[in-house]
Chain A
Amino acid sequence: MSPASSSTQRHSVVVRITHWLIFVAFCALLLTGVEIVLSHPRFYWGETGNVNMQPLFSLHVASSRGTVPTGYGVLPDQNGWSRALHFQSAWMLVLAGMVYVLFSLGSGHVRRDLLPALRWSEIRQVLAGYLRGEKPDRSRYNAVQRWAYFSVVFVVFPLIVWTGLAMSPGFTSALPWSVELLGGRQSARTLHFFLSAALLLFVLVHVAMVVHAGFRRKMRGMTLGEEEAA
């Protein structure tokens, strides 16, 4: 890649469109996911779990159902539209994600920019640079970025889709191993919760780094595809 000139093409149009589709889907999934959890803010391990059973852990929040005595009152039931929007957004995320992955494999984006090499020295160096508040080198993806993007795209997103599908009684009737490998339906639900927390953490750090690198310029890069020179 050539070093950034006054105006360099950074993100291809497919990457930019799928990035924002996935952003919209993620926001909807997060909001509705929180709402769905509120109807039963208890988590279990194994196949089954209900209020008559010992949870692995409970969230200290109000529930939207009177059948779950959390001690924080009862919120109105919003599960109907939340579930509908959750799955519709999941479809959008999966379809946009598939376009992104297939395009990025074909265009060389994955090989050139995302495929990480395990170089601890570089990772340490990049992290130390971040801690000193230095502006990162923009000419290429550094080792930390590669690890973050690669694992989110190829590990965390596939796992969150898998654990989501493993909760579906229809899907698991056709592919029972999808839930058995995870240790049961409640295990899948608990893993789904932790994976969404991991994704939220990624998004928060991602946005913080965008702000750090120059919010306006980076937003311009991800919408118009061009970045002005710093």
Chain B
Amino acid sequence: MISRRKMMTMGAAGVAGIAGVAVADRLARRYGLVPPDSGGLYGPGETLNYASQRLLTRHSLAREFPRSMISKTPFANEVAPFKDDFKAHMAAGFTDWKLTVDGMVAHPISLSLADLKTLPMRSQITEVACEEGWSYIAEWIGTPLHEVLKAAGVLPQARFVVYRSMDTDWWDSVDMADALHSQTLLTYAMNGGDLPVGFGGPLRLRVPRQLGYKSVKFLTHITATDSLKKIGKGLGSASPEGGYAWYAGI
């Protein structure tokens, strides 16, 4: 039988546990450690993944590799069939491709690829890791997202950056730690040439500290916001709507 003393100890441990969780929840909300898809059955796991990694990785850099490790046979994941508007851009060599930057910015801007190339350039040799398990390493060349956000005058109250693809089913968002991170790259070139369409050309947002699906292809639109609640189903990106995690650092 369970003794009276044991029962009291267990009761005290239970109360302490619940109080601990409540305090942790309060602190997590205050310091922005709760992801937009924190509701539902897997909310506790998603919150622990995001909160623990955000505390650990606010400024850390994704691993970069020597040139000799660039994959000779990278893998271009299949994408939805292109519609006529994309085909027209492709035929014109993407000269009219525009990236719109709006939302919580002082002056919304619209940039062509040529405009982007006038901003500071960065190249990095990082790995694309897909949630399925496969990976490859490539050199990615482009404009850091923070340069574009700076050019548009992002407001201090912005907490997330939402980004959209010409493929309207595909949109995502990152917090400001990733948006302002030096490796988060508006990528227009890969391995020395223009970014191939198969790899997301003409423009792809590379987020190398998260899995491949956060690196949205055919990028057309960036919006700075202080809340994700009214965007889509309010879960932060198209991924949670399809059953996948918003935070994909793991």
Interface residues of A (CB under 8 A from B): 13, 36-37, 39-40, 42, 47-53, 65-68, 79-81, 83-85, 87-89, 91, 165, 167-176, 179, 185-186, 189
Contact = CB atoms under 8 A, between A and B. Distances in A.
A85 B46 CA distance: 9
Contact of A67 (B44, B78, B131, B137): B78
A88 B60 contact: no
B249 A51 contact: no
B78 A66 contact: yes
Contacts of A53: 71, 73
A157 B163 CA distance: 39
Given A171-B53, A172-B62, A186-B135, 15 more contacts: A13-B2, A13-B10, A39-B133, A48-B127, A48-B137, A49-B134, A51-B75, A83-B244, A85-B45, A87-B250, A88-B44, A169-B127, A169-B129, A173-B62, A189-B133
B250 A168 contact: yes
Contacts of A167: 129, 250
A169 B134 CA distance: 13
B242 A170 contact: no
Given A48-B137, A67-B78, A79 B210 contact: no
B41 to A, nearest CB: 8
A67 B77 contact: yes
Q: Is the interface of B mostly helix, strand, loop or mixed?
A: loop
Provide the main secondary structure of the chain A interface: helix
B244 A80 contact: yes
Nearest to A54: B73
27 contacts: A37-B133, A47-B65, A47-B69, A47-B135, A48-B127, A48-B136, A48-B137, A50-B71, A52-B75, A67-B75, A67-B78, A79-B132, A80-B239, A80-B244, A83-B131, A84-B42, A85-B45, A87-B49, A87-B250, A88-B46, A89-B45, A167-B129, A169-B127, A169-B211, A170-B57, A170-B210, A176-B63
A36 B133 contact: yes
B57 A173 contact: yes
A79 B242 CA distance: 10
A77 B135 CA distance: 19
Contacts of A83: 131, 244-245
A38 to B, nearest CB: 9
Given A88-B45, A91-B48, A79 B131 contact: yes
A63 B63 CA distance: 29
Interface string B217-250: 0000000000000000000000100111100011
B208 interface: yes
Nearest to B50: A170
A51 B48 CA distance: 32
Interface string B55-72: 011001111010001010
Contacts of B146: none
A81 B60 CA distance: 28
Nearest to B48: A91
Contacts of B41: 84
A183 to B, nearest CB: 13
Contacts of B69: 47-48
Given A48-B71, A52-B73, A88-B42, A174 B132 contact: no
B250 A171 contact: yes
A68 to B, nearest CB: 8
Given A39-B133, A40-B134, A80-B244, A179 B10 contact: no
Nearest to B241: A80
Given A48-B71, A51-B75, A173-B61, A80 B242 contact: yes
A218 B177 CA distance: 51
A170 B209 contact: yes
Given A40-B134, A168-B250, A50 B73 contact: yes
Nearest to A170: B249
A168 B137 CA distance: 15
B74 interface: yes
B27 to A, nearest CB: 17
Contacts of B74: 50, 52
B6 A173 contact: no
In order of increasing CB-CB distance, the 5 nearest A-B pairs are A170-B249, A88-B45, A80-B243, A52-B73, A84-B42
